[in-house]
Structure 1
Amino acid sequence: AKVVGEAARGIGFFILVNTGIDEELMNDSLRLTREIHSDPNVRFPLAFSAESLIGFQRMGMSSAARAFNRLNTGEPKVDHIQSFMVGPDDEERCKRLARPSMAGVWPEGTQAARAFREKSIEYAREMEALSLDVRALLALSAGLDRRTFITPVKECAGLFRYSFYPPVGEAEDPCAGKPGFAHLAGHTDLGSCTLLIVDRPGLEIVKDGEWRAPPLVQGGVYVNC
């Protein structure tokens, strides 16, 4: 807890390993994410909106990175990202939270799309359970009762987002390949903490006023708090 506290207060970022999340489930989810975003036969019935906060977000749509940007990095504020936002799959829970149901939202049309739904439900549950452990760890690192950050938001479902960064050339963005280019603009995350799964280089964080790439840890969960 002491090490986590130092990292959280210092740069607001640390990496968890041996989290108990099944690595095969993690890898399958990442693989299926790439497949559904790359296959033109996959259909996305519902587009993401500020009202629903779930569904498919097409590349070029308004995003949190632009809307809530807090860092004056000088980089282009154009995002090249597609994503799929997953909400609670439990109908009763959706009613309690006054959140839209995932019914009619999941991608369709291919076997990969069907498998994506099954894996996503399981994966989201595991990540939500891990988020409770992370909140407890953050509380302990601050010398507080472990339930401090859990009890007030116990029934609040977080946002579970699959992000896909397609290749970008000069036809899509004249800044592609040039210094300062980024698929996703520099930003400050929403919420108390963000849990990230990273399977390839690209993620960067600000430390001592400079953008730096954290080490790529297989099976690691990156926490931004």
Structure 2
Amino acid sequence: MAQQTPLPVIDISPYLDPASTPAQRAITAKDVDSACREYGFFYLVGHGIDEGLRQEMLRLGHEFFSLPQAEKEQISIFNSMDRVRGYARLGENVTSGKRDVLEGYDIYREFPDPSSKMLRGAQIWPSRPASLRTTVLDYVSKLIPVGQALMRAMGDALGIENGAEAFEEIVKDPFWGLKFNGYPPLSTPDLSEQEKGISCGEHTDYGGLTFLLADDHIKSALEVEAKDGDWIKADPIPGAYVVNIGEFDQEQR
């Protein structure tokens, strides 16, 4: 059973405000250090992303997953050059050998010269919702500086001399990915052949940082494994992201 112990809440604003003091940034860096070592997860506030834009991203996700199945499958990952971008229907996502009870739409940063190499292809976009592409790109452009700020705080938290500068090579031109996930009720009749009782199994994320934006009405959906092996609820809280560190490897960039 999941614990009720709340995850820490970190204010990243000192790393986004050029007028902040070294003392203010030091407090944030210390909080980041503690959260990453103890949990690997935390809530992030002070990010400055407009709440209207965040809610529009959620709305667009709902609209996309409400489209007719045949229309969604026009942008199937199997129609993309690198077979990782696009729509994955219910059961096509697999975690730890089990099919996930979710459908997804994967978006990654595009490269000028697409090739057959993984994650080097062109993105495929749906015709509906009409505003999805422009909204996603606007949203990402605003979220990237938040990720860069958090990485710089990590550099300082690690005690690296001139931590921000040391991490600059990593953060200055990030490769990003964004995924819309749609979770049908586990009681949906046509899920009889799917794995039962859970939407997505235990896993770790690839990449350096994950910023999770979830519907506020979702409760007890995400749980985080604690050091003692118990689980901690990570329900969404207003205005915050749930952030976790992943398995980023500089050699894989």
Question: With structure 1 as the length reference, what TM-score do the two structures score?
Answer: 0.79
Equivalent residue number for residue 232 of structure 2: 212
Q: Contact 2:91/2:194 (CA < 8 Å) preserved in 1?
A: no
- Secondary structure at the residue paired with 1:224? strand
Question: With structure 2 as the length reference, what TM-score do the two structures score?
Answer: 0.71
**Count of aligned residue pairs for this structure pair:** 205
Please say if 1:37 is aligned against 2:65: yes
Please say if 1:53 is aligned against 2:84: yes
Equivalent residue number for residue 107 of structure 1: 126
Please say if 1:66 is aligned against 2:96: yes
Deviations 1:61-84, CA, capped at 9 Å, x for gaps: 144x336xxxxxxxxx33111111
- Secondary structure at the residue paired with 1:219? coil
Q: 1:215 to 1:56 in 2, by over 3 A?
A: closer
Please say if 1:78 is aligned against 2:94: no
Hey, what's the Cα distance between the residues in 2 that align with 1:130 and 1:5? 17
Equivalent residue number for residue 72 of structure 1: none
Q: Contact 1:44/1:107 (CA < 8 Å) preserved in 2?
A: no
129, 139, 158: which one aligns with 2:176: 158
- Quick one: percent identity of the two aligned structures? 26
1:57: Cα distance to partner?
A: 1.4
Please say if 1:146 is aligned against 2:180: no
Hey, what's the Cα distance between the residues in 1 that align with 2:155 and 2:173? 18
Q: Contact 2:93/2:102 (CA < 8 Å) preserved in 1?
A: no
**Quick check: 113-122 or 33-42, which moved more?**
33-42
Amino acid aligned to 1:53: V
Q: Could you say which structure has the greater relative contact order, defined with CA pairs below 8 angstroms and 6 or more residues apart?
A: 1
1:189: Cα distance to partner?
A: 1.1
Hey, what's the Cα distance between the residues in 1 that align with 2:191 and 2:199? 11
- Secondary structure at the residue paired with 1:198? coil
Hey, what's the Cα distance between the residues in 2 that align with 1:38 and 1:98? 27
Equivalent residue number for residue 47 of structure 2: 19
Q: Contact 2:90/2:101 (CA < 8 Å) preserved in 1?
A: yes
Hey, what's the Cα distance between the residues in 1 that align with 2:113 and 2:32? 32
1:210: Cα distance to partner?
A: 1.3
Amino acid aligned to 1:138: M
Please say if 1:190 is aligned against 2:206: yes
Hey, what's the Cα distance between the residues in 1 that align with 2:233 and 2:114? 37
- Secondary structure at the residue paired with 2:131? helix
Hey, what's the Cα distance between the residues in 2 that align with 1:5 and 1:172? 41
Can you give the 5+ residue segments of structure 1 that lack an aligned partner in the other structure? 68-76
Stretches (4+) displaced over 4 A: none
Q: 1:216 to 1:43 in 2, by over 3 A?
A: closer
1:150: Cα distance to partner?
A: 3.8
Q: Contact 1:29/1:120 (CA < 8 Å) preserved in 2?
A: yes
- Secondary structure at the residue paired with 1:148? helix
Q: Contact 2:104/2:181 (CA < 8 Å) preserved in 1?
A: yes
Can you give the 5+ residue segments of structure 2 that lack an aligned partner in the other structure? 1-28, 246-253
1:215: Cα distance to partner?
A: 4.2
